[in-house]
C-alpha cells in the first residue's frame, strides 16, 4: 500500500548524526528562464507543496518536536528553550571539520548562516539577540546533521541574532568557537522551504514560467540544481499544456482538451449516443457529457478527429503514432513485446498511471507509481455505439488513440486497466471515443 504521509506543520526534531538533507535549487532554459513557481509532489507519500522559483527546497527526513532528553541520549541540546532571547547550544561533532550553523524562521527565510571549524567531540556556542518567535536551528557537516526547533520569548528588535563564540565552560572533548561574530558577517539568502522526504521517495516537480509548464522527475540522492526546459505547447483554444521528457521524446503531460483544429475550425461536440455511433467525421465529447470531466480529464475524441488533416494538436506537435508509443514502451520496459496484441509488460502500466488523488480502482499490485511523469488519468472512454464504459464508479480504464490506422474501420490504441499492471495494445473501431496525447515534432 502507499506510504501514509505524516503532518509536519510546525514540527521539527533532533535528528541523528548520519541523516541527510538535500537542497534543491531551480533553473529555467529555452522559452522561459525565470521560474515563477515549482509544484513539488512527493509521489511516494502523496504530499505536495508549491514554492517560488527562487526558493531552495530542503528535503528533510525530520519529523517531531524537540523534547526533553536525558543527558546520555541527546546529540544536540539547546537551553533554555524557550529562551529569553539568549541560549546555549551544545552538540556532538562526529568528526573534525567545517560545519554550517543556520537559523530559519517559520516562513523558511534564512536569518543566519555561518560556517565554522569544529574539532571532534562535544562543542558549543551561545546565541544572543534572538527576536521573539519560532525558528529552526540547523548544524550541518559532511559527517553529521542536527536540527531542532528554537523558541524565543524576547522583545528584541527584529534583527538577525549573533553568535557569542567565547568559551562556554568546561569542554568534554574538542573546543568551543573562538572569536566574536558580528551582524555584518551574516549572509542574507533566499528562502528555504522544508519538505518531508525519505530515502527512495519519488518527486514530481512542475516548473511554471508564464504560460509554460514543464515536469521533471527527481529521485533525490544528493543536493542539486534542477533545470526546466520550457517549450510552447498551446492548442487553438489557448489551452496551455505541461510537458514531460521521457527518453528521447517530449510528451504532453496532460490529455488534450481542444474543441478546435489547429486552423481554428470547430470540432463538433456530439452528446447524443445514437448520433455519436453514426459518425464518420471528427467529434469530441466529455465523459457522460459532464464539462467537469473534460476540464480535468480532457475530452474524448473519435479517430476521425485525430486523423483530420487540419490537425488536432498544438503547433509543433502531433498525435503519437503506434511506432512512437512503441519507443516509449521500450524505453520504460525493454522486455516489452511491441508486436503483441492485448496486454504486454509487467510494470509499465504502474509506471504510467497517476498514483495520488486518483479515482483508479486498484489492487496492491496494480496501483500507479507515475515514475516517468506521464500521469495517466482514469478517463474512461466512449464505445463505438455511443455508450459509456461500464465502470461502476468511473474508476476502471483509460484509452489513448495513436495516429496509426489499422484498416478502414479500426485504428491502433493503448489502454491502461485498473486490474492490470501492463499496457494493452489493440485496434478498436474508429467511432469510439478515447483520450489523446500529443508528442513534439522532431
Going by the DSSP 8-state scheme, the letter that residue 59 receives in this structure is E
pLDDT of res. 162? 62
Average pLDDT, integer, range 56-79: 58
Q: Where in the chain are the domains?
A: 1-230, 237-440
pLDDT of res. 185? 35
Residue 340's contacts (CB-CB under 8 Å, 6 or more residues apart) are 425
The neighbouring-strand residues paired with 397 are 417
pLDDT greater at residue 190 or residue 199: 199
pLDDT greater at residue 179 or residue 146: 146
User: Is the pLDDT reported for residue 299 higher than 60?
Assistant: yes
The neighbouring-strand residues paired with 342 are 425
pLDDT of res. 160? 53
User: Is the pLDDT reported for residue 28 higher than 70?
Assistant: yes
Average pLDDT, integer, range 42-48: 93
41, three cell numbers: 509532489
Residue 225's contacts (CB-CB under 8 Å, 6 or more residues apart) are 24, 25, 26, 27
Average pLDDT, integer, range 23-48: 92
Query: In the chain, what percentage of residues exceed pLDDT 70?
Result: 83
pLDDT of res. 159? 55
pLDDT of res. 359? 87
Q: Could you give the CA distance from residue 315 to residue 258 in angstroms, rounded to a whole number?
A: 12
pLDDT of res. 394? 67
What is the per-residue pLDDT across 254-270, written as a single tens digit (0 to 9) for each? Answer: 999 999 999 999 999 99
Going by the DSSP 8-state scheme, the letter that residue 305 receives in this structure is H
pLDDT of res. 17? 33
User: Is the pLDDT reported for residue 7 higher than 50?
Assistant: no
Lowest mean pLDDT among 219-233, 356-370, 408-422: 356-370
pLDDT of res. 222? 87
pLDDT of res. 431? 98
E strand or H helix at 40, and its extent? Answer: strand 37-42
Q: φ and ψ at 76, to 5 degrees?
A: -135, 140
User: Is the pLDDT reported for residue 157 higher than 70?
Assistant: no
Average pLDDT, integer, range 378-387: 94
Most confident of 23-27, 117-121, 252-256: 252-256
pLDDT of res. 111? 79
pLDDT of res. 106? 67
pLDDT of res. 401? 98
Does the pTM surpass 0.95? The reply is: no
Confidence of residue 67 (pLDDT cuts 50, 70, 90): very low
User: Is the pLDDT reported for residue 93 higher than 70?
Assistant: yes
Q: Domain 1-230 belongs to what architecture?
A: Sandwich (2.60)
Q: What is the mean pLDDT of the chain?
A: 83
Average pLDDT, integer, range 356-369: 84
Count CB neighbours of 171 within 10 A: 15
DSSP, residue by residue, 188-244: P---EEEEE--TT--EEEEEEETTEEEEEEE--SS-EEEEEEE---B-TT--B-EEE
pLDDT of res. 87? 86
Amino acid at each position: 500500500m502507499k506510504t501514509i504521509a505524516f503532518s509536519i506543520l510546525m514540527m521539527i526534531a533532533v535528528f541523528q548524526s548520519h541523516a541527510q538533507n538535500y537542497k534543491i535549487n531551480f533553473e529555467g532554459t529555452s522559452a522561459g528562464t525565470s521560474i515563477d513557481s515549482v509544484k513539488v509532489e512527493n509521489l511516494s507519500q502523496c504530499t505536495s507543496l508549491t514554492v517560488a522559483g527562487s526558493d531552495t527546497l530542503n528535503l528533510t527526513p525530520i519529523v517531531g518536536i524537540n523534547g526533553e532528553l536525558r543527558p546520555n541520549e541527546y546529540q544536540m541540546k539547546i537551553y533554555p528553550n524557550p529562551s529569553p532571547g539568549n541560549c546555549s547550544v551544545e552538540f556532538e561533532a562526529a568528526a573534525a571539520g567545517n560545519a554550517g550553523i543556520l537559523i530559519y524562521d517559520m516562513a523558511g527565510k534564512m536569518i543566519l548562516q555561518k560556517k565554522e571549524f569544529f574539532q571532534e567531540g562535544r562543542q558549543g556556542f551561545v546565541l544572543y539577540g534572538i527576536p521573539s518567535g519560532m525558528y529552526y536551528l540547523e548544524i550541518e557537516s559532511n559527517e553529521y546533521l542536527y536540527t531542532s526547533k528554537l523558541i524565543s520569548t524576547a522583545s528584541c528588535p527584529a534583527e538577525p541574532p549573533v553568535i557569542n563564540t567565547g568559551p562556554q565552560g568546561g569542554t568534554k572533548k574538542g573546543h568551543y568557537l573562538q572569536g566574536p561574530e558580528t551582524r555584518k558577517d551574516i549572509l542574507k539568502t533566499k528562502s528555504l522551504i522544508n519538505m518531508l522526504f525519505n530515502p527512495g521517495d519519488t518527486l514530481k516537480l512542475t516548473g511554471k514560467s508564464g504560460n509554460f509548464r514543464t515536469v521533471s522527475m527527481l529521485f533525490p540522492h544528493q543536493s542539486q540544481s534542477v533545470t526546466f526546459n520550457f517549450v510552447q505547447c498551446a492548442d487553438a483554444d489557448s489551452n496551455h499544456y505541461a510537458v514531460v521528457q521521457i527518453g528521447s521524446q517530449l510528451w504532453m503531460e496532460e490529455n488534450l482538451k481542444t474543441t478546435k483544429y489547429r486552423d481554428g475550425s470547430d470540432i463538433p461536440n456530439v452528446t447524443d449516443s445514437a448520433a455519436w455511433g453514426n459518425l464518420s467525421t471528427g467529434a469530441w465529447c466529455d465523459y457522460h457529457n459532464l464539462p467537469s470531466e473534460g476540464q480535468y480529464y480532457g475530452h474524448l475524441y473519435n479517430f476521425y478527429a485525430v486523423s483530420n488533416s487540419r490537425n488536432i494538436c498544438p503547433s509543433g506537435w502531433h498525435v503519437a503514432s503506434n511506432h512512437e508509443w512503441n519507443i516509449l514502451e521500450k524505453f520504460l520496459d525493454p522486455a516489452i513485446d511491441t508486436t503483441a496484441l492485448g496486454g504486454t509488460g509487467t510494470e509499465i502500466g504502474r509506471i504510467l498511471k497517476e498514483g495520488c488523488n486518483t479515482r483508479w480502482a486498484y489492487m496492491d499490485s496494480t496501483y500507479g507509481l507515475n515514475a516517468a511523469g506521464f500521469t495517466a488519468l482514469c478517463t474512461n472512454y466512449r464505445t463505438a455505439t455511443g455508450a459509456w464504459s461500464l465502470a461502476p464508479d468511473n474508476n476502471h480504464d483509460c484509452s489513448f488513440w495513436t495516429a496509426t490506422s489499422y484498416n478502414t474501420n479500426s485504428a491502433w490504441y493503448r489502454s491502461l486497466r485498473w486490474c492490470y499492471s501492463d499496457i494493452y495494445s489493440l485496434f478498436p473501431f474508429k467511432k469510439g471515443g478515447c483520450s489523446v496525447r500529443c508528442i513534439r515534432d522532431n
